[in-house]
Amino acid sequence: MAYRLQKIMSRALARSFRQVYVARQRQAAVRRGAASLLGRPTAQDERVRASEADLAAGRAKRNGQRRNILLITVDQQRYDALGVNGGAVARTPAIDAIAATGINYRRAHVQNVVCMPSRSTMITGQHPLTHGVVTNGVALPEDAPSVAKLLRREAGYRTALIGKAHFEPHLDPLLKFYENRCAAEGWTGPWRGFEHVELSTHGPMGGHHYASWLWEQHPEVIGGFAGVLTGAGGGDTGGPEVAHNPIPRELYHTDWVADRTLAWLRSLPADDPWFCWMSFPDPHHPFDPPFDEVRDRIDWRELALPDRYLGTAGAAEEILSQRPRHWLDWYQGRFRNPEGGPVMFCPGRLTHDQVREVNGMIHVENELIDDACARVFADLRARGLDADIFYTSDHGELQGDYGLMFKGPYHVESLMRIPLVWRPARSAGIAAAEIAEPVGHVDLAPTFCRVAGVDIPEWMQGDALPTAAGGSDRRRVLTTFDSQFAAIGMHLRTIYRDGWICTAYLPRTRNAGGRFRMYWALWGTGTQVPDYDGSEGELYNLADDPRQWVNRWSDPSCRAWRDELVADLFEHLPPAREPALPVAAPT
């Protein structure tokens, strides 16, 4: 009954979004008409003027040929999703090929394990504590630093973001944020340094360009998508947020993102360098790829259970009981994990077959992404276009590990370690390599600057990615988590160094984060929130325990090493932004 109610609410919310979208369209038309009659520029006119001025300034500074940059991001993909990283199910030949001929970073970690902070780090080159988007629901300020704007202003780059952005909250029923309303108002940018934007999320929900295209051009397919954050069971097994989606492949958002990327790239003159961010919404839940593709590609019944799946409730409870309380509480249904997945989902009720079916859907989504990338790569080759190609994910997915699914305040490799591949442009003359040193998303923006021949500004906190094994003195990478709900008040600080993952827990707060009484009444009712005092933590030795099954935080033989890692962690964490940015929405 609860799942059914969530699904009904999700469909009602989609219709509500659409009604607000249509109202926004009409309001925008009235405003444009009034501005035209009065001979006054609109706010959008001012955006366009400023963006064109940046491009003109950059062209004036540009000397010599600049390298093109294609940044490909996916949402919630694990490190081991790719064949080149050990994945044994999904076929990913296109990404495997650029990894084989480029640079594969074997120890890339996110700076945050949820979407908005991670994506804000990519565009700013800053840690979440610095740019201020410490959790989902915090909008990145419009005047925040942007590597896209920098490349445009300093080197005359043409810039585009196509697909999922998520710099602003998506739970925005009145479409207050520009990211959610720009399609309704008829705009495709400029925004945050991108002259062109066409945005998408995970289906017909919201006010993005893809959702608008579906409602206006293909309304017959809207009902096939699963609802995000509903936890509703579907598919063959009743798996959470699984759906047999009858949508034709060419109408699904993965192909749409590739199609729109190709359309923009083909519109550019040959002599302008470009920075294009192609951002796929998958394999983030809901798990609803085109069902024809599922039937043709993978039979979930033939899949093995994940290597870190513990098999029985007793085994899972034994492992999870060694960790801070919210691990076991979530598995057993006492903690609802509203900051990482659908609150109606209880991991301990997952069946083996549900784990298999969810994994099967994810593998299909990963194959479709690889196919879409292959189309873009082929088009670049056919037109003789050279480019530096980067591929990464904003964070990982538990995907059955430890008996859990989705994400949240759980700092293990499943969520923190992500694929990161860079295939340098042929003109760069950089040899293929595998890099073991720790790197992170904070290093992407400085690397784009280096590729573009632009000085790395002081406000970027990362460093350009190393291009040769052993070519840097990097020792650590940091990850943070902060609750978006004040009622939870959980704060994790993590360091990876010398083959160890060490997470220190800060004391629980009650005044940091959003309150959202209506949403908390729905999502938080019945949840038990651990009252951490700051003495808790996690410590894993990846050499001896690659699955991170044994928490050695309280092991006396590791005490000195733990203390050294914690000291190193806090020595290198940047100070938190003051004042803190408000949490504007739950997600």
504 in the Ramachandran plot: left (φ > 0), alpha (ψ -120 to 50) or beta? Answer: beta
How far apart are alpha carbons 181 and 167 in whole angstroms? 13
pLDDT tens figures, 114-168: 999 999 999 999 999 999 999 999 999 999 999 999 999 999 999 999 999 999 9
Cα dist from 43 to 20, 27, 148, whole Å: 20, 14, 20
How far apart are alpha carbons 164 and 125 in whole angstroms? 18
**Residue 381 CB-half CA count within 13 A:** 7
Continuous segment of H or E residues that includes residue 355? helix 352-382
pLDDT at 325: 98
- Low pLDDT (below 70) residues in the chain: 1-13
223, β-bridge pairs? none
pTM of the model: 0.97
Contacts of 345 (CB under 8 A, 6+ apart): 231, 240, 337, 405, 406
CATH code assigned to 2-302+357-471: 3.40.720.10
Q: What angle do CA 279, 280, 285 make, to 5 degrees?
A: 135
How far apart are alpha carbons 440 and 451 in whole angstroms? 17
pLDDT at 5: 54
Strands (E), 133-230: 158-163, 196-199
How far apart are alpha carbons 19 and 23 in whole angstroms? 6
- DSSP letter, residue 330: H
Pairing of strands 239-240, 233-234: antiparallel
The two three-digit tokens of residue 226, written as one number: 């699963």
**Residue 426 CB-half CA count within 13 A:** 5
pLDDT at 8: 59
pLDDT at 3: 47
* In contact, 481 and 492? CB cutoff 8 Å: yes
